[in-house]
Amino acid sequence: MINDVQTWVSVAAYTGAGLAMGLGAIGAAIGEGYTAAQANFAVSRNTKLSGDVFKSMLVGQAIAESASIFALVIAVLMLFYKMPDATMIKAASLLGAGFCMGFGAIGSGIGSGLPGGQACIGLARQPSIGNRLTTNMLIGSAVCQTPAIFSMVVALMLIFIDFSKAPLFPTWAAVIGAGLSTGLAAIGSGMGGGFAAGASCEGVARQPETAGPVTTTMLVGQAVAQTPSIFGLLISFVLMFKAFPESTTFAASAGLLAAGISTGFGGIGPGVGNGMAAEGAVRWVARSVENAGGLMRIMLVGQAVSQSTAIYAMVVSLCLIFVV
């Protein structure tokens, strides 16, 4: 009974669904809590606007929720979709999909709560620019979702692509590694993007006439902060689509698993750090808009240096996949 492949696929699907939803719920809840806390602050500052602040809080929380909705979709899909191919590789890839979506939703959930909170405070500070503030918040927190979207895509691919023709050893490790790589790397990028978006909402509220340069700097900063999660995506694609020769030695499997883990963990720090660099640049562009060009250049150089650790991690992963 316990050797039945179908049973193992079901076990993996249920475990994966639990992991996806359980881990995926962490981030969004934190982000929404932050938004609500800032909304309280805003209401106490400007009591007359409590209705507008309340609306703004709900919009911000709805967007922060979307990362966990992605996780919910993946979890429900794994619970109820009948897999056409029941193999042990499918079981491994379902587990990988669960890890990928669960970890991937954490960062985006936390990150997209930050612009929502800052938009509430900004609304209390400058009620007249509510529309522009909301637009800025929507753009900022939508871009924060990109790492969660990447993890959802990898999770969907792991669920639906037919791996049954590949040899079980070491492909089982490659598919779990693919899930871990994108999932873990998305944590840092999602949070980092949120820092930049929060600072831009604060900046627009402080100096409404600088909205154009502030939004541009925010987008470039967030885009660079997403680079670690893009490295994770790249490693996942290589792990999923490269045909690995059959090898029953444990070292070959462990190498592929480690390749995913390396880029995944290696991406967390640079994502957060790049977000901090972008946050600083955006905040100061709002205060001295005439230096926007110089600030953006310093931000990019600083981000490139802080990103180098993610590049080292990716180089190690590529070595593990292609050389070792």
Partner 1 sequence: MGDLGRIHQLIIPVMGHNITLNLEAIVMTWIVIALLILFGYYSSKNRGMRPGTAQIFGEMIVTKLYGLTEDALDKEKAKKYAPLITALFMFLLLCNWIGMFPHMHEPTKDLNTPLSLGIMGFFIAHYAGIRSKGIKKYLKEYCEPIFIMAPLNIIGEMSKIVSISFRLFGNIMGGSIIILVVSYLVYSLVLPPLLIAFFGIFVGAIQAFVFTMLTVVYISVQVK
Residue 218 within binding range of partner 1, rule CB under 8 A: no
Is 123 or 289 the residue whose CB approaches partner 1 more closely? 289
Among 42, 100, 114, 143, binds partner 1 (CB under 8 A): 143
Q: How far is the CB of 315 from partner 1 (least distance, A)?
A: 7
Provide φ and ψ at 207, rounded to 5°.
-135, 85
What SS3 state is found at 34?
helix
Q: How far is the CB of 156 from partner 1 (least distance, A)?
A: 6
Name the segment binding partner 1 (CB under 8 A); options: 95-103, 110-118, 246-254, 303-311: 303-311
Residue 48 within binding range of partner 1, rule CB under 8 A: no
DSSP structure string for 55-108: HHHHHHHHHHHHHHHHHHHHHHHHHHPPPS---HHHHHHHHHHHHHHHHHHHHH
Give helix 250-287 / helix 292-322 axis angle, nearest 10°: 180
Residue 322 within binding range of partner 1, rule CB under 8 A: no
Is 43 or 213 the residue whose CB approaches partner 1 more closely? 213
Chain positions 5 to 44 lying near partner 1, rule: CB under 8 A, are none
Q: Please, how many CA atoms are within 13 Å of residue 120, restricted to the half-sphere of its CB? A: 30
Residue 220 within binding range of partner 1, rule CB under 8 A: yes
Residue 150 within binding range of partner 1, rule CB under 8 A: yes
How far apart, in whole angstroms, are the C-alpha atoms of residue 297 and residue 291?
10
Q: How far is CA 152 from CA 71, 75, 103, 205, 262, in A?
A: 8, 11, 10, 33, 20
> Nearest-CA neighbor of 225 among 265, 249, 199, 195?
195
Provide φ and ψ at 245, rounded to 5°.
-70, 150
Residue 314 within binding range of partner 1, rule CB under 8 A: yes
Residue 86 within binding range of partner 1, rule CB under 8 A: no
DSSP annotation of 323:
T
Non-local (6+) Cβ contacts of 242 within 8 A are 174, 321
Residue 230 within binding range of partner 1, rule CB under 8 A: yes
Number of residues that bind partner 1 (CB under 8 A): 40
Residue 297 within binding range of partner 1, rule CB under 8 A: yes
Residue 234 within binding range of partner 1, rule CB under 8 A: yes
Q: How far is the CB of 323 from partner 1 (least distance, A)?
A: 15
Are the C-beta atoms of 254 and 174 separated by less than 8 Å? no
Build a one-symbol-per-residue string for 61-80: x at contacts with partner 1 by CB under 8 A, - elsewhere.
------------x---x---
Name the segment binding partner 1 (CB under 8 A); options: 16-24, 39-47, 259-267, 301-309: 301-309
Are the C-beta atoms of 147 and 222 separated by less than 8 Å? no
Among 25, 153, 186, 211, binds partner 1 (CB under 8 A): 153
Among 30, 69, 139, 254, binds partner 1 (CB under 8 A): 139
How far apart, in whole angstroms, are the C-alpha atoms of residue 229 and residue 146?
9
Residue 156 within binding range of partner 1, rule CB under 8 A: yes
Q: How far is CA 227 from CA 193, 244, 271, 295, 312, in A?
A: 11, 27, 8, 20, 13
Are the C-beta atoms of 26 and 64 separated by less than 8 Å? no
Residue type, 109: G
Q: How far is the CB of 149 from partner 1 (least distance, A)?
A: 5
Is 53 or 239 the residue whose CB approaches partner 1 more closely? 239
Q: How far is the CB of 314 from partner 1 (least distance, A)?
A: 7
Build a one-symbol-per-residue string for 265-294: x at contacts with partner 1 by CB under 8 A, - elsewhere.
---------------------------xx-
